[in-house]
Amino acid sequence: MKEEVSSHSDLVACMKDISVVYGDFAALYEVNLDVNKGDFIGICGPNGSGKTTLLKTMVRLVQPIAGRMMLYDQEITDTIPAYIRFRIGYVPQITNIDRNFPALVKDVVEMGRYAKAGLARRITRVDKQKAMEALQLVDMEQSADRPIGHLSGGQQQRVLIAQALAAEAEVLLLDEFTSALDFRMTEDIMELLFHLNHTHKITIITVGHNIEILRAYCNRIVCINKVIAFDGSPKDQKLDEAINKIFN
């Protein structure tokens, strides 16, 4: 087995002493996190521990009050330059899409192409092709012409992943999609993520509430409780200690 050696050029994101507050409430405190190309990171922590905030900070949906952050070789001060932004696909927590929401699956995925090209440009044949390829990657091409509201939670999640892939994202940030899904569907999505990570070299950071599933699939676990309580291998014994500590 050949181990990949990570060098500085393999860094996708680097957070240094990042703190985030909402009003006068600190949601993240002096968080340090390096994300390497090829990582498959599972983030866990109790409710309200800052998991969503961490993902949102990476794509600057929230602004830290302190600390520094690099994405690729670019220091991010305010907004993320477009050429970097589309490389990072953020898949938010799914709250049931209205059954009557009129958009078709293929429309939703094509929106990923707008994210890359900008709204001013029309969708071309190449865009439609790329959207279809992304749907194939998540095994949803047969549902391209169905309204997204008619799909199950797990299928909707796949479509949102396809949307990010259509934008040619190299990194996927996924918020707690599993909470709405049963165990089987959760495993199916984790299998898909594992495949994208392994075969397509997509870097993955996923928040999950089922620690055993995260341990089974991820090469790295990050436990968070406002501060980083653990960052390491799923096999590390200190992980159990950290989990006991932050969940009790």
Ligand X SMILES: Nc1ncnc2c1ncn2[C@@H]1O[C@H](COP(=O)(O)OP(=O)(O)O)[C@@H](O)[C@H]1O
Q: Which of 17, 32, 48, 238 binds ligand X (CB under 6 A)?
A: 48
Distance in Å, CB of 22 to ligand X, minimum? 3
Distance in Å, CB of 225 to ligand X, minimum? 9
Between 38 and 46, CB nearer to ligand X: 46
Between 165 and 222, CB nearer to ligand X: 222
Q: Using DSSP, state whether 171 is helix, strand or coil.
A: strand
| Dist. CA 119–CA 137, nearest whole Å | 24
| Dist. CA 18–CA 25, nearest whole Å | 14
Compute the C-alpha angle 228/231/236, nearest 5°.
Answer: 135
Q: Which of 27, 28, 35, 52 binds Mg ion (CB under 5 A)?
A: 52
Does residue 51 interact with ligand X by CB under 6 A?
yes
Q: Are 188 and 154 in contact (CB under 8 A)?
A: yes
Query: Which two tokens mark 43?
Result: 């983030």
Query: Which two tokens mark 71?
Result: 């994405």
Q: Which of 3, 5, 24, 47 binds ligand X (CB under 6 A)?
A: 47
For ligand X, the binding residues (CB under 6 A) are 22, 25, 27, 45, 47-53
Contact residues toward Mg ion (CB under 5 A) are: 51-52
